[in-house]
Structure 1
Amino acid sequence: MPNLVTNPGSALEAIKTLNDSLPEYPGLADRLGQAHAFYVLEEAGGPLFGFSKFVGYDGLSPDDYLRDYKSLDGRNTEHALSKWFDELRFGSPAYEDLFEKLTIWLAEFGKRPRGGDAQKVRLMVLRPEFREPTSSADEDRRLLELMLAVADILPANQRHELRAAL
C-alpha cells in the first residue's frame, strides 16, 4: 500500500502526473467519472484537476493506481488532503466556474461529473497560505478572493448592502 501524501507539494505534483498520464492510460481516464471530489491546481493555462485516490498517495504512478485502485481508500486520502485544501461551497461563483471547467475537461475523455446536476461533486482548492505568490498582484488577488468568499456567505440583504457601499 502506498504512503499518503505528507505535504501539499506532493499532492500538486500528483495532479500534474495524473493530467500528463491520462492520454497514455485510458484505464485511468475511465476512472474519472467515479470521483466524488476533485482537487484543483490553478495554472496559468487553466485549472488542472485530480481525484483524491490518485492525488492523496505519495509518488503513485498510473500503473500502481490501475493495479491497486480497488484497495486504495479515498476516505484516508481526503483526510490527508484536508490539511491543505478547502472545499468550495456549492452554488458559489468560484464553485460554478470550476465545475463548468471540470465538466468541459471530463467531456474530453467522454466522462461527466459523478451524479450530474442533482448531486454535484465536491471541488477542493488549495488554501491561500499554501499558494506561492508570484507577484504583489497575487497577494492583492488573495485578499479579493477572501472578500468574495465572505460576501458569498452573507444573506442576500447584506450582500445588497455591501454592493451599495462599494
Structure 2
Amino acid sequence: MLLRLLVAGLLLLNIGAATAFENTDTTTFKANSREVAHFQDQYGEMNKNVPCPCIFDQGRYFYQQEINAFGYVWSCREYNAEGLCLDIIRRLPEPYKILAFVANWQEDSEIFSDLIQVYNAEHQQQIELVNVDEQPALIEQYHLTEMPVLLLLKNQTETGRLTGLHSRSQFSQWLEQKQK
C-alpha cells in the first residue's frame, strides 16, 4: 500500500514531464500514446504541463476521474476496450470558492479544521482553511462574528454561509444544495 501511494505521489509530481510523441492538431491523442508533447483546444495551446493520459486509466491504482492541474480541470474523453485513456480534455474550474474560517481561541475550530482536512482528502473540490488569527483583516472583510464559519463564494460574491460546528455530512449536503 505504501509503495502504491509513493508511486502515485511521484506520478503526480512528474505530471506532464515526459514528451515522447507528437500530438495531432486537436485534442485527440494517437492510439496507444501515453505521453503528450503538444495540446491545443478552445483554451489555447500547451507545449508543457499536460497531464499524462495514464492518470485516467481505469482499473489502475492511480486512476482519477478528474484532476485539477495547471489552472484547469482535466479528465478523459475516450477510453479504449482495455480502459486506457485515449483522449483527454480540459475545462475551466467552477467559479465557486469555499472558505472555512477558524480561530485559535475558539474551541470548535480545531475539530472543524480536522473535518475540513478529511473532506478535502475525499473530494475534488477543495475547501480553503483560513485561520483568522493569522489574517485578522478577513474578519472585517467577510463580516465574521462567530467561528467556525463556512463561506461559499461565487465570482467573489458570498452566496452562502454556514456558522458553527456541523458534521462533515451536514456541511457536504449544505454545499451541494448551495451550488445548484
What TM-score range do you get, normalising by the shorter chain?
under 0.3
State TM-score, norm by structure 2.
0.23
Higher helix share: 1
Higher strand share: 2
Asked which structure has the greater RCO (Cα within 8 Å, sep 6+), the reply is 1
Specify the structure having the higher radius of gyration (Cα): 2
